[in-house]
Structure formats: C-alpha cells, structure tokens
Structure 1
Amino acid sequence: MPILFKYSLLLSPLVFLSGCTLPGAVTVTDGGVFRSTDRASTWEPRIFVDTVKNKPVTIANTTILDMEFDPKNPDILFVGTGNKGGFKSSNAGEKWEAFGPREGALNLIAISPKNSDEMYIARGNSVFKTTDGGKNFSNIYAESRGVAITSLELDLLDSNRIYMGLADGALIRSTNGGVSWSIIKSAENRIEKIVIDPRDSKKIYVFTQSKGIFKSIDFGANWIEIRSVLSERFTDSLIFKDALLDPSRSDTIYYASKYGILKSTNGAADWDALALLTPPGSIEIFSLAVDPKNPKVIYYTTPGKIYISVDGAQTWSIKSLPTSQSVKVLRADPRLGDTLYLGAGGAISAGKSNNTFGF
C-alpha cells in the first residue's frame, strides 16, 4: 500500500515565531524567488508568505531547488526548497503558501499537462504523487538502496509515462502513473537532467554529470551515446551545467557545460559553440532560459550576472543579478516572453552541479 501523508495547505502560525524569515534555514537573506518583467533589466523579490505579529514572513532564507509553472495557468507556480519543503503561489509569486512537505528538501516537481491537480515530487530517494492539487500525497517510489533521485520528468503527451534519473546513473521509467517501475538504462554516471521532446515524446535526452548525453528515439528502448562529438572538439564539455530544448524548434538543443554553451540544431548529432563574451571554461554557468515566444532571446546566469542575447547569440548584454546567491533555477514565463523568474540560494562556489540536495 502507498504511504499516505495528509496536511493542510495553511501554515501554522507556530512556524513563524522566529521572525521575518522561515526558521531552521541556512543564513541567506537574499535568496528565494525574484521576478523580472523587462528581460532582466529590473527585478523584484517575490518572497512574501504571511504577516505574523506585524512582521512579514518570507522565503528569503530558502534555497530554491526547482520551480514549475502550472501548465494551464502560468500565474500559478510551485517551488521546492532545500530546507523548508515546498511552496505554491497562485498570483505570480506575490504570495506563497505551504505545498507538500514543510521541512527538509523538496528537490523536484513535475506536473501533468492535462490535469494540473496531478503532480509528482521527489525528495531524497522517494517520489510522491498527488491527484488533488497537493492536499494529499502517496509515496509511489522509494529507492531501496538509498540512492538520491536527481531528475524527474513526465511525458507531456502521456503523463502516465514518468522518467526519473538517479545519482548512480540508473534511468527508471513507469508507464502506468507510478504503479510500477523498471530500469531502462544505466548511464554509469549521475543523471543531472532528463529532457523529453514535447512534440515527439519518443525522443528523450539524458544529460549526465560528466559522461555526456544519451539519446533515445523510441521511448528508451534503444540509446545513442553522445560523447566523443563533444569531448573531441570542446574541452570539458562533458561536465554538465544545464540544458534545454528550444521551445519552438524540436531538434534545437542548448547545452551549458564547463566549456561554455553549445547548440545543436539536428537533435544532438552535431554541435557548435555559442560565441560568448567570456573565453571557454573561464566562468561557471549556472542556468539557461530561452524566450518561448521568441527563440532568438537567450539568457544564462553566472556568479552575480545574467547574460542576455536578443539576436540568437550574435551579441550579448550583461545585467547584475538581484542576489549574491547562486541562481541555478531560471524560468521564462511560457505566456509572457519578457517575464523571467529566478530561484536563488546557496553560496557561490566553483564546481557545483545544477542540482543541490539538502539532506
């Protein structure tokens, strides 16, 4: 039987007796969520939770690990944090309320595109499912070896098909909404991100921490290893930072590595390096985003800065980020192309991967 846990989405006032930020968290005062409506020129914090004893309670001292939009209404956002569980906003981040577990890390969130009440969350070595928008969750997977779940994705054309990657390189799939699971691939290296083509979900890309990319064109039955085409041309390009598909062009992929940012327009068969303002390998790239309304608009974050191109990476401008923390979560609003959300938290240091786990 699944393990059930039930809770109210309303936070208890006792949680907030320690003052203006959530207690029990790491000492971060400029973390949480920020929003820009003008392509990163200006930012405003989106951190408010409640007012208790005339003091604002915020998520400014949380580390944001994941952020997802409700597929039917992008004003509804969900975030997972490294220390205080999950939060939900119904008004574009103006106010947040508790979602899912209230303590510890909520690492990953995946939402069904057809029914946004159906969601999956991963924390540690377990996956939980809700079918009522987060009021109740059942534990549908627990990794018996204690290996962390590092990536979680749904097939957007069939949300009963779920993929998750583990820290030891195992790729696991369910085809029945989490009732049963099977290992379909061993990448033999930590899986950092799974990307599924939203127009043709037979195409799956698995990005590993340092052993390159694996691609399937048949739902994971067979795999193509994409390694030498990267390593032979681009030094340190196997070391993953972030990756995404162009939202308007299926076979166009952006891949941020220790080398820099690479782009493929033919489904990862061939790659070219984007011309950046910094030399290859000279700066750590944390996260990527592409404007869903205009794919020529590209963003990436580095320590303290965000780089913006409006002409397909021909030229770049630089803006300062509104936080001293690392920004490993960057999302473009799927409806409003000029609007960005970033999730901050965690001291900036060299060598960190795109996923951080708070357990």
Structure 2
Amino acid sequence: MTGQKPFLIIVVIIIIFILGLSLIPVLFRARTSSTSSGGSQGGGNGTTLYKSDDGGANWKVLNNFVGGNISTMTFDQSSQKQILIGTEARGVWRGDIFGERFDQYPGGVGEGARVFDLIKPTTEKEFIALVLFMNRGRIIKYKDEKRSELFFTPLEKYAFLKGYRTKAGFLRVIGSDGGFYESRNNGATWRLASRFQSGLISMIFNPSHENQVWALDPRGSFYISIDGGASWKDLSDSLRDFPGANDNPTIFIDPRTQYLYHGSRYGLLRSTNSGLVWEKINLTLAPEILPITAIAIDPHDSAKIYVAAQNQLYISDDGGVTWRGIQISPSGAISSVLINPVNTKEIFIGSRK
C-alpha cells in the first residue's frame, strides 16, 4: 500500500492540473463580460455591442452578439424586451435586452446584406429594412418569417439610406441617387417626390409635424421641406460660420423640444428654430477625435445628451453645459446610441471596428 501512495499523489496532481486548464476559458469569459466603472472591459477584436444599466456610468460587453459592425439599432416596439440590430455586412439580428441570445434573420435581410435603416414601427416579427443586397439597394419587408421586396434601385451600387413611416401609413425614403421616394399604399407602388442632383446621405423628420423633413447631401449641404419632400429650401448658409460643419455631418431631432442637433468635424450645434440659426455647444473632447458619429437624448429628459466621437461617449446632464467622458472600447468608432424609452437607464451602444 505504501508503494501506491506516490502513484496516487501523481494522479491527484494531474487531475487538479486538468481541472485548472478547463477553468481558464470560463474565467476569461467572465472577465471579458464584466462591468467596469467609467468604461468597459473585454472590448476585444470583434466586439461591437455594449450595454449600460445605470444611465451610462458603467458599461458591459455583450459578447454573445457576433454580427460584426453595427449600422443601426432599434427596439421591438411591441414590448421593448427585444432589440433589432442592423449590421454592415451580416444583415439584421434580434436579441433580448439582457444580451443572452442573438439570432440572425435569413435571406435578403440576413447574411451578406448591408443594413442602412430599420423603419419604425419595428417588431421582431415585422419590420421594413433598407439594405444593399447583391449589389443593389432594396426595401425589404419582413413579416411572419416571410420576406418581400417592396422596391429596388434601378442602378447597381446605389442604396436607400434613411426612411420613415407617417401616422397615415405613407412610406418615405431617400436614396444615394438623390431621390426622395414615397409610397401611399404600404410599398405596393412608389413615386418620386423630388430629386437632388448631388445625392443624399441622411434624413430626419419631425414626429410632431411629419411633413417637416431635413436632409443632408454628400457635400454637407442642409435642406428643409415642410410639405413632405415635395419641395425644399437650402439652409446651408446657416452653417457657414462653423468651419467643418459640412464634413461628415450627422443630424438628430429631440422629439420633446423639436430642437435640432448637428454633429460634424466642427463639433456639436443646436437649433431651436428648425435649422434657421445654430448655436455652438462646447464639448470637452479633443478636436482630433472629431467628427461626431452619433447623438442621442434621453426621451424623458431633454437636458441629458449623449454624443459619440470615435470610441468615446460624452454625457451631459445639464443641456450641454458640462460633460463627462467615457472610453467605451479600446478601438473602433461608435455608430449608434439606443436608449430604452421605458427604462432610460438602459442604454445600448453599437460600434464599428
């Protein structure tokens, strides 16, 4: 029996060593999904989705999402328990707000599709996506696991970039070809409401006055329509005193106040009169990390503003007077900030690597 003791000790040591090796991946996953104060840990290669449960003070990585670069996000408006995520190359994904499971949609809204926008209202069972699929822009309706193509660009490499649905059910979208298109019968037929020779890159509308629309072209020129896109007025001169405002611009409207926000390589601007006059909002970020890539405002508190530039998020609780900054990830650029309207402390960030 005494001769067996060294053998038993060796066996025990080997078992402990094997168990230790098996725990390494578990401990690594636990570390990379942890929450940290004033930032986020675990932002390794491929990580593009983050979540805060406390209004942006702390962030955690949602490693279960593997859809790659994120272009847009929205909630399932039937419950706010699911999020829909549009990606730059892997179509539309859905996931629970806890980040435990994410599934990719199939077909024209799935693998290989570049998603530019998801037109509200959206649910996990029904939505309209603006995508570039098989080298052509397409408007795809997904409903009850079936997909139908509502419209496509006549030329390859062009795409529909932004859209919205009115309370009357009209669908309005802009294309990179400069077209402003409208359907009044749920996408069965379409008409060209107007066209910009220089193309279009972005659009927002006023939820309180749905015929009031603003658009940006690739040169950064800024336009307003008050008749649902039939005619337009050039407001670009209102930005001429802000050098760099036409460089990589993004626009956002606060539905509560109807104030406009304009982000660019210049910085952040605000207009209280529909874009006729702008005021500068001083930021604490370094000019080198501009342009601003995303803007969001708390749906219930217009004084709480979120502004993203590169991999950093800046938060103001007093309407832009003071700011605090957080580095969300080691690299990449934030592309989308999504606030839960039911629980505004719950915030999601999508990014590009």
The alignment status of 1:212 with 2:224, answered yes or no, reads no
The alignment status of 1:185 with 2:231, answered yes or no, reads no
The Cα of 1:72 is off from its aligned counterpart by: 2.6
The alignment status of 1:131 with 2:143, answered yes or no, reads yes
Structure 1, 114-123 or 235-244: larger mean CA deviation: 114-123
User: Given the alignment, which residue of 84, 88, 92 partners 2:94?
Assistant: 88
The Cα of 1:33 is off from its aligned counterpart by: 1.4
After superposition, what is the alpha-carbon deviation per residue over 1:186-214, rounded to whole angstroms, capped at 9, x for unaligned?
Answer: 23334222212112111111122323221
Larger CA Rg, structure 1 vs 2: 2
SS at match of 1:229: helix
Residues 216 and 309 of structure 1, relative CA distance in 2, 3 Å threshold: same
SS at match of 1:228: helix
The Cα of 1:178 is off from its aligned counterpart by: 1.0
Which residue type is aligned with residue 201 of structure 2?
Answer: E
Distance, in Å, in 1 between the alignment partners of 2:288 and 2:173 is 29
Aligned sequence identity (%): 21
The Cα of 1:157 is off from its aligned counterpart by: 1.5
Number of the residue aligned with 2:265: 258
Q: How does 1:109-258 map to 2 (within 5 A)?
A: 109-113=117-121, 117-124=125-132, 125-132=137-144, 135-158=145-168, 160-231=169-240, 233-250=241-258, 252-258=259-265
Distance, in Å, in 2 between the alignment partners of 1:189 and 1:107 is 22
Normalization by structure 2: what TM-score? 0.79
Q: How does 1:8-87 map to 2 (within 5 A)?
A: 29-48=45-64, 58-59=65-66, 62-87=68-93
Distance, in Å, in 1 between the alignment partners of 2:312 and 2:104 is 30
Which residue type is aligned with residue 138 of structure 1?
Answer: S
SS at match of 2:114: coil
Number of the residue aligned with 1:309: 316
SS at match of 1:77: strand
After superposition, what is the alpha-carbon deviation per residue over 1:254-289, rounded to whole angstroms, capped at 9, x for unaligned?
Answer: 111121111111111111111112466762221111
Residues 195 and 149 of structure 1, relative CA distance in 2, 3 Å threshold: same
Structure 1, 262-271 or 212-221: larger mean CA deviation: 212-221
Distance, in Å, in 2 between the alignment partners of 1:92 and 1:206 is 35
Q: How many residues align?
A: 305
Number of the residue aligned with 2:298: 291
More helix by share: 2
The Cα of 1:147 is off from its aligned counterpart by: 4.1
Which residue type is aligned with residue 164 of structure 2?
Answer: L
Q: RCO higher in 1 or 2 (8 Å CA, sep ≥ 6)? A: 1
Distance, in Å, in 1 between the alignment partners of 2:179 and 2:281 is 31
Distance, in Å, in 2 between the alignment partners of 1:212 and 1:302 is 21
The Cα of 1:111 is off from its aligned counterpart by: 4.2
Residues 113 and 265 of structure 1, relative CA distance in 2, 3 Å threshold: same
Which residue type is aligned with residue 68 of structure 2?
Answer: T
Q: How does 1:328-347 map to 2 (within 5 A)?
A: 328-346=335-353
Which residue type is aligned with residue 110 of structure 2?
Answer: R
Give the conservation status (yes or no) of the 8 Å contact 1:260–1:281.
no
Number of the residue aligned with 2:24: none
Residues 109 and 235 of structure 1, relative CA distance in 2, 3 Å threshold: closer
The Cα of 1:156 is off from its aligned counterpart by: 4.1
SS at match of 1:277: coil
Distance, in Å, in 1 between the alignment partners of 2:157 and 2:114 is 15
Number of the residue aligned with 1:23: none
Distance, in Å, in 1 between the alignment partners of 2:246 and 2:194 is 19
Q: CA RMSD in A?
A: 2.3
The Cα of 1:303 is off from its aligned counterpart by: 2.2
After superposition, what is the alpha-carbon deviation per residue over 1:9-52, rounded to whole angstroms, capped at 9, x for unaligned?
Answer: xxxxxxxxxxx9xxxxxxx724231111223221112242xxxx
The Cα of 1:293 is off from its aligned counterpart by: 1.2
After superposition, what is the alpha-carbon deviation per residue over 1:82-131, rounded to whole angstroms, capped at 9, x for unaligned?
Answer: 23222111444331112243311331343443977441112211111123
Unaligned runs of 5+ in 1: 1-19, 21-27, 49-57, 347-359
Distance, in Å, in 1 between the alignment partners of 2:116 and 2:84 is 10
SS at match of 1:74: coil
Which residue type is aligned with residue 157 of structure 1?
Answer: K
After superposition, what is the alpha-carbon deviation per residue over 1:160-186, rounded to whole angstroms, capped at 9, x for unaligned?
Answer: 312222223222222221111222222
Give the conservation status (yes or no) of the 8 Å contact 2:314–2:324.
yes
Which residue type is aligned with residue 213 of structure 1?
Answer: F
